Structure 1
């Protein structure tokens, strides 16, 4: 009998993941490209409905690792009446802390449970759009790509938000106002900046950058009805670190996800007041994170109204999708590569080894990109 634990540790299995994921990504982005240039100019609504499933098919292969491969747990803290009435049924603007290597994946994990995974959008660096296949997927899915030049980015934000608000189905647009992942070095730089500007000193977050939020707010007000304030935390003393590597090796993590639904009309119209609102929000988020790290509970020390946690069984479609792509991609690819390996010819053998090596490097590079140590220097570079 196959030992599942050993199987999940196998480099060969991980390589099969890589072959399936990257090959399917290229197939899906090729289909996207055809539809982007051939259908979107004539029927945006139909293009976006089809693209939902293309994006879902790609993203859910990673969600599969969280939901099924590693059997990770997601404890959700939401008002139950709001969850049933609103979640997955309206456009939403997400404000989330950016503290972990897989915070984005836990967000996707949740989005999959409410049926908006294929329409998850985010702000991203413009250079990412040229990175296959994920960057191409995001480009064709109309993500908001920024150059970190305010004058250029303002026009981009205005145009892209207008486009996203025109979607026929609910869209969730993610912003991480901290701008980059939390590290000790970045936190020290953030504290220095906050002291200089007389802003709140945060213990577990970087000082939020308000300009992107206030600029976006003026364009989505009246179009996106709510802001979702999301706070993600993992136990500090967990034996399994919350990383992509842990999930790949089948090691479960336990994420705690608090979400507060805030009507946009509750946010001040004035730009300065809206910026202060965001800073005040991060003060509360910081208290929640501090409470969680001290007590294992968001609410005991934060003063935030308690919400009982619940879990949602993972939808089976991420499992079906991952297995489907494994069959579709691995069957011909492995047949072809095995033929090269055992052809008895050095050239063909070398080609097969090179292809396997390329997929392995892609896998390691992708994991490396998610590591906090490889994150952006945004916020620490000298200007």
Structure 2
């Protein structure tokens, strides 16, 4: 515990201090600018969110030196960040969301990268609050409650002023071996293809997203993440420790207009995509690469270096001036207050790390199959997981 605290404390202080500043400005803009012009608010908030997310991109790219190898065709690579898109991805590691942010940053749309998240995420200090200001969609994993929330949130994106990505993890929870065994048992009981590397997708949220986004989002990015055999798993804790990893990303672009029209057909399309994704991961496991596609490379972002350096100079100057003005460290009470503040930051960082860990994620419950009046089996579990 003490060693971990020493590792994360300096970065934690830096991140939370700058993050609280960003949150404060976001709140001011939300109260005073958004009622007058939602478009202006979104443009300003896009820049503010990017200032915060770039710190995590810097940790990913430069502090830990995680390598992202992107396998896709040149046309998809050219269009990334230049169009509205629904992003569907397997939920393989603790930091899939951060891989998405890094890809969005390299494509020029980090400030307008959105996601469908579980409701508890918005209460995370700094990160969750900024997601809320940035119009992320928060669900309770209960379709009776979430259907209208998702629909209204998707409809609000119609007039989004810049190209955005909306990420949707249709497996509904992060991959673990225990969850895979449960998915395999369920698939066997229902006569479905037995998954080996993915979980069974929960399609109601995906169907709703396609239905509501058809007219203004031209593409779906089908993303498959894989970790090479010789690479340590990328986790938040490993990132803060500066431990490098390698992530392979396969991207296939589907035109929204080419998807089936009916909800049932869209749901089946999603399931078929995950069967194909499972087979693709089998090939990756055998070859340790997505060799069928060309390897594309944006390179690491220098913008994150500039932003982090600027934040560091601003915060160091501010802290020195504050200490000079307050004489905080010249009394026992001031020292105790400082130690308490550092302890709070340490606790918050541990909460963030624990929240991101796959083994601590809550799996959606899969209900037993029920038979409807028509005699067709219901699509189980979709009321709990999207």
Q: Quick check: TM above 0.5?
A: yes
Partner of 1:124: 117
Tell whether the 8 Å contact from 1:200 to 1:279 is kept in structure 2 after alignment. no
Secondary structure at the counterpart of residue 30 of structure 1? helix
Residues 273/264 of structure 1: CA separation in 2 closer, same or farther (3 Å cut): same
CA distance in 2, matches of 1:116, 1:73: 20
Tell whether the 8 Å contact from 2:7 to 2:240 is kept in structure 1 after alignment. no
Partner of 1:355: 341
CA distance in 1, matches of 2:236, 2:123: 22
Q: Match for 2:224 among 205, 219, 231?
A: 231
Question: CA-atom RMSD, angstroms?
Answer: 2.2
Residues 380/184 of structure 1: CA separation in 2 closer, same or farther (3 Å cut): farther
Tell whether the 8 Å contact from 1:165 to 1:171 is kept in structure 2 after alignment. no
* CA deviation vs aligned residue, 1:205-253 (integer Å, no higher than 9, x gap): 1100011111221111111111000011111232x32112222122221
CA distance in 2, matches of 1:152, 1:310: 41
CA distance in 2, matches of 1:266, 1:193: 30
CA distance in 1, matches of 2:317, 2:6: 15
Any unmatched runs of 5+ in structure 1? 1-8, 300-305
* CA deviation vs aligned residue, 1:145-167 (integer Å, no higher than 9, x gap): 11222233111111111112311
CA distance in 2, matches of 1:286, 1:245: 28
Q: After superposition, where does 1:1-383 map in structure 2 within 5 Å?
A: 14-84=8-78, 86-238=79-231, 240-299=232-291, 306-333=292-319, 342-343=329-330, 345-379=331-365
CA distance in 2, matches of 1:377, 1:340: 50
Residues 340/354 of structure 1: CA separation in 2 closer, same or farther (3 Å cut): farther
CA distance in 1, matches of 2:136, 2:21: 20
Partner of 1:302: none
Any unmatched runs of 5+ in structure 2? 369-383
TM-score, L = length of structure 2: 0.89
Tell whether the 8 Å contact from 2:90 to 2:225 is kept in structure 1 after alignment. yes
Residues 13/341 of structure 1: CA separation in 2 closer, same or farther (3 Å cut): farther
Tell whether the 8 Å contact from 1:19 to 1:329 is kept in structure 2 after alignment. no
Of 214-223 and 56-65, deviating more is 214-223
* CA deviation vs aligned residue, 1:92-138 (integer Å, no higher than 9, x gap): 00000101011111111111111011111001112322332112111
Secondary structure at the counterpart of residue 75 of structure 1? strand
Secondary structure at the counterpart of residue 228 of structure 1? strand
Tell whether the 8 Å contact from 1:340 to 1:349 is kept in structure 2 after alignment. no
Tell whether the 8 Å contact from 1:19 to 1:330 is kept in structure 2 after alignment. no
Secondary structure at the counterpart of residue 180 of structure 1? coil
Shift of 1:337: 6.7
Secondary structure at the counterpart of residue 182 of structure 2? helix
CA distance in 2, matches of 1:176, 1:311: 24
CA distance in 2, matches of 1:157, 1:194: 27
Shift of 1:11: 5.8
Residues 129/266 of structure 1: CA separation in 2 closer, same or farther (3 Å cut): same
TM-score, L = length of structure 1: 0.90
Shift of 1:142: 0.6
Tell whether the 8 Å contact from 2:197 to 2:278 is kept in structure 1 after alignment. yes
CA distance in 2, matches of 1:123, 1:330: 36
Q: What is the aligned residue count?
A: 366
Shift of 1:198: 2.7
